[in-house]
Amino acid sequence: MDNFAHFVRVYIEDTDVGGIVYYANYFKFMERARTEYFRTLGYNKPALMSASQLVVRDVSLRYIKPAYLDDQLFVSGSIKKVSSFSLEMTQNISRDETVIAKARVRLACIDPLTKTLSKFPQTIFEELKSRINT
């Protein structure tokens, strides 16, 4: 079961000359979905959560099928693991209920001033732990 989902429309700016989504834009679609998810949790500026900041530490993306100009894509995801310093999630991008890309993303918590690894504030840690989807 997914923790979150977000619809994305493919615009001309997302594609190459052949009308196929440029590979790096899948990362942008996933970032938008994660941002909207954290917004639903009450973090109006999701990248900057009070005394901490979330940054992508690792990401792997498997392309299965291309997306095209004007496609409506469904970007979903689930939190799989949370530690004091990071969280791991999976994300899928689908078109018409067919998964066209799959990703595993690890986000690290850093101090916004020093840009060094830091622990999640306890309330955020507990909130994320409660949303783990196995």
Q: Is 71 a catalytic residue?
A: no
Long-range CB pairs of 117-124 (<8 Å, 24+ gap) are 117/85, 118/51, 118/52, 118/85, 119/52, 119/84, 119/85, 120/52, 120/82, 120/84, 120/85, 121/49, 121/50, 121/51, 121/52, 124/49, 124/50, 124/52
Name the catalytic one among 16, 58, 70, 111. 16
Give the residue numbers marked as catalytic.
16
